Amino acid sequence: NAGVTQTPKFQVLKTGQSMTLQCAQDMNHEYMSWYRQDPGMGLRLIHYSVGAGITDQGEVPNGYNVSRSTTEDFPLRLLSAAPSQTSVYFCASSSALGSGGTDTQYFGPGTRLTVL
């Protein structure tokens, strides 16, 4: 049981490049989320999903796209990277409330992204 996995662990991009941060979970969790962590800002929610085919925006969604075609995977796409997107990105998953499982959010190890 690998939990929540993220790839890559580190990435350097040039301004204007696009890329996809991968996130996968093997716990059959309904809910998945993406957060970014910036110094002095804590973690802020970018996008989240309550099930396959269902996504919604969080607090800071601009510049990012997501899709959820399977329960297991929730990729985050940067369409045109900007220096303001330099951050550490965390993916998390959790069970739906009332589904019988724990409601704890489990976090991946994070991806450190630098945009030059």
Partner 1 sequence: AQTVTQSQPEMSVQEAETVTLSCTYDTSESDYYLFWYKQPPSRQMILVIRQEAYKQQNATENRFSVNFQKAAKSFSLKISDSQLGDAAMYFCAYRSGENTGANSKLTFGKGITLSVRP
Residue 78 CB neighbours (<10 A):
20
CA–CA distance, 87 with 26 (Å, rounded to integer): 25
Q: How many residues bind partner 1 (CB under 8 A)?
A: 28
By CB under 8 A, which span of 15-23, 60-68, 76-84, 93-101 interacts with partner 1? 93-101
Asked if 82 touches partner 1 (CB under 8 A), the answer is no
Q: How many Å separate Cα 84 from the centre of its chain?
A: 17
103 binds partner 1 (CB under 8 A): yes
Q: What one-character-per-residue DSSP string does 6-50 give?
A: EE-SEEEE-TT--EEEEEEESS--SEEEEEEEETTTEEEEEEEEE
28 is a contact residue toward partner 1 (CB under 8 A): no
Near partner 1 by CB under 8 A: residue from 25, 85, 87, 95:
95
43 binds partner 1 per the rule CB under 8 A: yes
Q: Which residues make up the interface to partner 1 (CB under 8 A)?
A: 31-33, 35, 40-45, 48-50, 56, 58, 88, 90, 92, 94-97, 103-105, 107, 109-110
